[in-house]
Each structure stands twice: as structure tokens, then as C-alpha cells.
């Protein structure tokens, strides 16, 4: 595209709008599934884009993932956010010297009584489980 007369500023806009935004799209959701090999390949892509002057910023996927997760977590503190209701404020007065958290929240704890659920005739199970029955 540079040979077709696009300036460096136009190339930055094209790279950011196509490649960079595609990588950032829902990075918080799929970033945890990246292997070290995939991270190295994405870092190589950003390094090559910088070398070819397609972007003016040096990006690292680890830093981008940390920023995306931090941004999502901070947005969840807003009372109108759809995930805000799952955070409960916790004032723990414990005798343990634990490290400082970056927030006063804790995700709710769920307990399941599988014996009660499996022992009854549950409508979603295709069979009835009886005590002492093994497959």
C-alpha cells in the first residue's frame, strides 16, 4: 500500500483498524487459551509491523492481555454493568497476614449437593441413580 501512495499515518490507521483491532476483539475471553507458541507468533507479527512501519507502537500480547483484563475488571465495578451483581464486598478480619488485594470484592461461593440431586429423580438425567449403583 505504501507503493500505492499511502503515507505512514494512513498505514497506521489501516493497521490499527484491521489487524490490531482484530487481535484485541474479545481478547479477555480468548487470551487465556493462547499457548506460548501463539503468543510468540503474535509478538512476531507486531514486531514485523513495527519494522515495516505499519504501526508506530511496539505491542506485546502479554501487556495487551493484562490491559484488556484490567479494563474489563474496572468496568465491572460500575453499578450499571451487567456483571456488577456477582461481586460481593468483603470485609475480612482475619488473623492471617495475607497479601493486599487490588479490590475489596470476592466472587460468590457456590456449593452443590450432588447426592441430593443425583438421588432424586432429576428431570434432566436420562436415568435414575440409586444409592450403591455403579456404571
Between the two ends of the chain, the Cα-to-Cα distance in Å is 64
Residues 15-60: tens digit of each pLDDT: 888 888 898 888 888 888 999 999 999 999 999 999 988 888 888 9
Q: Which pLDDT value is given to residue 135?
A: 47
Between 47 and 76, residue with greater pLDDT? 47
pLDDT in tens, 64-73: 999 988 888 8
Instruction: Check residue 38 and give its pLDDT.
Output: 93
Task: Give 95 or 97, the one with higher predicted confidence.
Answer: 97
Backbone angles phi, psi at 123, to 5 degrees: -65, -20
- Residue 88 pairs in a beta bridge with 106
Per domain, the residue ranges of the chain are 8-106
Total Cβ atoms within 10 A of residue 46: 21
Amino acid at each position: 500500500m505504501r507503493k500505492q501512495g499511502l503515507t505512514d499515518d494512513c498505514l497506521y490507521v489501516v493497521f490499527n483498524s484491521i489487524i490490531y483491532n482484530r487481535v484485541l476483539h474479545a481478547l479477555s475471553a480468548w487470551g487465556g487459551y493462547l499457548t506460548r507458541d501463539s503468543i510468540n507468533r503474535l509478538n512476531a507479527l507486531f514486531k514485523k509491523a513495527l519494522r515495516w512501519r505499519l504501526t508506530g507502537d511496539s505491542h506485546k500480547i502479554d501487556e495487551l492481555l493484562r490491559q484488556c483484563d484490567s479494563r474489563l475488571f474496572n468496568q465491572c465495578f460500575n453499578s450499571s454493568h451487567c456483571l456488577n451483581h456477582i461481586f460481593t464486598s468483603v470485609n475480612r478480619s482475619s488473623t492471617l497476614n495475607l497479601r493486599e488485594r487490588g479490590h475489596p470484592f470476592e466472587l460468590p461461593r457456590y456449593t452443590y449437593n450432588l447426592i441430593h440431586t443425583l438421588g432424586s429423580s432429576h428431570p434432566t438425567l436420562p436415568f435414575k441413580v440409586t444409592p450403591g449403583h455403579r456404571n
